[in-house]
Chain A
Amino acid sequence: MSLGAEQLERLAALARLRIDPGEAPALKDALERILGLAEELAAADTTGIDPLANPLDAVQPLRADTVTESNRRDAFQAIAPAVEDGLYLVPRVVE
């Protein structure tokens, strides 16, 4: 499967990756090979096989609805780059 430059750009945008133009050809190559593998898998005959959500033959255990966590904000915020008024500060996300 061949990947256009535009598709590569879109994938990078969705993954929030900035791609160095010099790296693009090699990356495109590698991605095409990965997609080739996916195509090979997609070609397998799956008639009559139920979709598999999880390979483990088990069901989800449930926990009781009780509050078990205490406030550890100070510990968490000690490793945050910027905090103020108890909030984590991040680069502005709206114009």
Chain B
Amino acid sequence: MTPVRIVEGRAIPLGRKNIDTDVIIPAHYLKTISRVGLGRGAFETIRAEPGNLFDEPQFARAPILIAGDNFGCGSSREHAAWAMLDMGITAVIAPSYSDIFSGNAVKNGIVPVVLPQAAVDRLLEVARDHPITVDLESCTVTTPFQDRFAFEMDPFRRECLLGGLDEVGMTMAQGARIDAYERGAAADRPWLSAA
């Protein structure tokens, strides 16, 4: 995974609430066995709306997306994160996310920034015509107009994003602990492996 520190550039001011995973990537694109190429199906239903933001040239390959509450609700499909990455998006700003989506985002090097609605409203306004900056090092979002919004992120997630860490490899290094847990569980609940 590519480490991320700063995401800077145009931000798509989508602003809508409850953007679900079927909107981010419809199910008929999930029949792939690859992680790349999904950008072509991303936000298909919104892109079908005349005059939608995704068609505006200044937002082509914009690295940031700004949305409303509950972004990424719905299915667990990691294809949503892959599709956004394929479009060039590496940071999202919203008041809240579905739990599964924010986990998937982090695992793919997309920064899910949580900011209160008032801050999101201001950024939606600025993003129409100006770039914004997400700095994961200082945990701030800034605009060219002295706006500075601090956000919080779980330290482990932040560490993974900053370091581009491979979680599977990290956990495999803990093999001895997992072995010990398995021995204890097998003694306490022998029926667990009886399946």
A, B in one complex: no
Please give the residue numbers on chain A whose beta carbons come within 8 Å of chain B beta carbons, in ascending order. none
